[in-house]
Amino acid sequence: MDLTDSPSLANLPAVLSDSGIGSCLYAMKKFPSEVISSIAPIVVHYAKNNYADFFGYQLRKNFLGEVNRKEYINCVHDIFLAISGSVNMVNDAFINSGALDELLTLAIQMADFDTQGQNSYQERITALSFLADVWELKSERIEENQEVAQAILTVLKRGCRDRQRLLRTVSFELMFKLLQHFSVNRNQFAPIIYKSLTFLLIEFHPHVEIREHLMRHFLTLFTQV
């Protein structure tokens, strides 16, 4: 059966059906948890020595148009998590190619609030989740450039102050997740994130639901660290 005849492909770009990497992306979209560990080595092999071109062009062209940015970052996020545990050679090649820097720039732009409303709250959540995982797994690389680390923290704090409840909740969850990880590993940004969350608690003190939500997270943190 031709994959393009499947109703489940109605919202996917046509290019997914006519390339090897497109077939991999289709499998990831249909069965993400089952196939990502198998597809990641294929991606590494296909992209080796040119990760920047692969992630910046070869992969991205499968997600045509701005409306597919969310799917693109989701895909990159899945691949990143899968290869982050690979041998150091793969990690170093991916990072040194500049691919990670380009992805971080795109994700930071996508995660931020924009007055034109081009970044939907779903896109912002997707981008923030990616940024938080990259920072947690590659903190040394992220913190080589303090401006990048600060930019990630800034968009997370803006997410915490957003009027959209789900975005606000996810942003708080991600900040506490980073704080817990950084506290255990004595990362230099642990006290900075702790201070930011403390000020947010003071800021949202009149809002009972948010205040209690934050207090529960602080209590959990204090019992774990």
Least confident of 67-81, 96-110, 173-187: 67-81
Counting residues of the chain whose pLDDT is more than 70, the rounded percentage is: 85
- Other residues' Cβ atoms within 10 Å of the Cβ of residue 66: 12
- Residue 88 reports pLDDT greater than 80: no
Spatial CA neighbour of 22 closest among 66, 67, 73, 59: 59
Long-range contacts (CB closer than 8 Å, 24 or more residues apart) made by 199-204: 200/157, 200/160, 200/161, 200/172, 203/161
- For residues 213 and 113, give the distance between their C-alpha atoms in angstroms, rounded to a whole number: 23
Distance CA 193, CA 197 (A): 6
Return the amino acid letter for 78: D
Nearest to 29 by CA among 6, 49, 47, 48: 6
Q: Report which secondary-structure segment, H or E, holds 92.
A: helix 88-96
Give the H or E element holding residue 195: helix 190-203
Distance CA 85, CA 9 (A): 31
Averaged pLDDT of the chain: 83
Q: Which residue has the higher pLDDT, 21 or 225?
A: 21
pLDDT at 66: 58
Dist CA 82 CA 38 (whole Å): 9
Can you give the pLDDT at residue 73?
93
Tell me what pLDDT residue 37 has.
Answer: 74
Amino acid present at 203? E
Does the structure show a pLDDT above 80 at 71? Answer: yes
Query: Is the predicted pLDDT of residue 210 greater than 80, yes or no?
Result: yes
Residue 72's closest CA among 35, 109, 33, 103?
A: 103
Answer whether residue 144 shows pLDDT above 60: yes
* Contact in structure between 142 and 152 (CB atoms under 8 Å): yes
% the chain with pLDDT above 90 = 45
Three-state SS string across 113-171, please? Answer: CCCCCCCCHHHHHHHHHHHHHHHHHCHHHHCCCHHHHHHHHHHHHHHHCCCCHHHHHHH
pLDDT value at residue 175 = 97
Q: Would the pLDDT of 27 be above 60?
A: yes
Q: What pLDDT, in 10s, does the model give residues 94-116?
A: 888 888 899 999 999 999 988 77
**Mean pLDDT throughout 19-45?**
73
Instruction: Label residue 132 exposed, middle or buried (CB < 10 Å: 0-12, 13-18, 19+).
Output: buried
Evaluate if residue 137 carries a pLDDT over 60: yes
The whole-angstrom separation of Cα 113 and Cα 196 is 18
86 has a pLDDT exceeding 90: no
Tell me what pLDDT residue 10 has: 38
